[in-house]
Amino acid sequence: MTQEVHAWLRAAKRIAVLTGAGMSAESGVPTFRDAQTGLWAQFDPMQLATEEAFRANPSMVWGWYAFRREMIAQVDPNAGHLALAAFAQRHPGRLTLITQNVDGLHQRAGSAGVLALHGNILEDKWLDIPKPCCDADSAAAGNPPYCSGCGNMLRPAVVWFGEALPLQALDAAQAAARECDLMLVVGTSGVVYPAAGLARTAAGKVVIINPGPTELDDAADAVLRGKAAQLLPQLLED
- Per residue of the chain (238 residues), give pLDDT as tens: 788 998 999 999 999 999 999 999 999 887 655 555 544 566 677 778 899 999 999 999 999 899 889 989 999 999 999 999 999 999 999 999 999 999 999 999 999 999 999 999 999 999 999 999 999 999 999 999 999 999 999 999 999 989 999 999 999 999 999 999 999 999 998 888 898 899 999 999 999 999 999 999 999 999 999 999 999 999 998 8
Pairing between β-strand 154-158 and β-strand 119-126 as defined by DSSP bridges: antiparallel
**233 and 179 in one domain?**
yes
Q: How far apart are CA 124 and CA 118, in angstroms?
A: 13
**35 and 22 in one domain?**
no
What's 190's domain CATH number? 3.40.50.1220
138, 158, 178 - which closes a domain:
158
**46 and 132 in one domain?**
yes
**216 and 125 in one domain?**
no
Count of the separate structural domains present in the chain: 2
| Cα angle 101-34-173, degrees, rounded to a multiple of 5 | 15
**38 and 1 in one domain?**
no
- Mention every residue, 6+ apart, whose C-beta is less than 8 A from residue 163: 51
Half-sphere exposure of 179 (CA within 13 A, CB side): 12
**202 and 184 in one domain?**
yes
> Residue 32's pLDDT is what?
59
Q: How far apart are CA 43 and CA 23, in angstroms?
A: 25
100, 134, 158 - which closes a domain:
158
> Residue 39's pLDDT is what?
46
What's 146's domain CATH number? 3.30.1600.10
- Radius of gyration (Cα) for the chain, nearest Å? 19
**114 and 197 in one domain?**
yes
Return the DSSP state at 140: B
**114 and 124 in one domain?**
no
- Mention every residue, 6+ apart, whose C-beta is less than 8 A from residue 92: none
CB distance 46 to 194 below 8 Å: no
**230 and 186 in one domain?**
yes
110, 129, 158 - which closes a domain:
158
Q: How far apart are CA 163 and CA 117, in angstroms?
A: 12
Q: How far apart are CA 60 and CA 185, in angstroms?
A: 34
> Residue 23's pLDDT is what?
94
**137 and 233 in one domain?**
no
Peptide bond into 45 cis (omega under 30): no
Kindly name the residue from 6, 91, 106, 118 that is annotated as catalytic.
Answer: 118
106 counts as catalytic? no
User: Could you list the residue range(s) of the whole structural domain that residue 41 is in?
Assistant: 30-74+120-158
Question: What b/e string do you get for 213-224 counting C-beta neighbours within 10 Å, with b at 16 or more?
Answer: ebebeebbebbb
Q: How far apart are CA 4 and CA 23, in angstroms?
A: 22
- Mention every residue, 6+ apart, whose C-beta is less than 8 A from residue 56: none
**144 and 221 in one domain?**
no
**124 and 114 in one domain?**
no
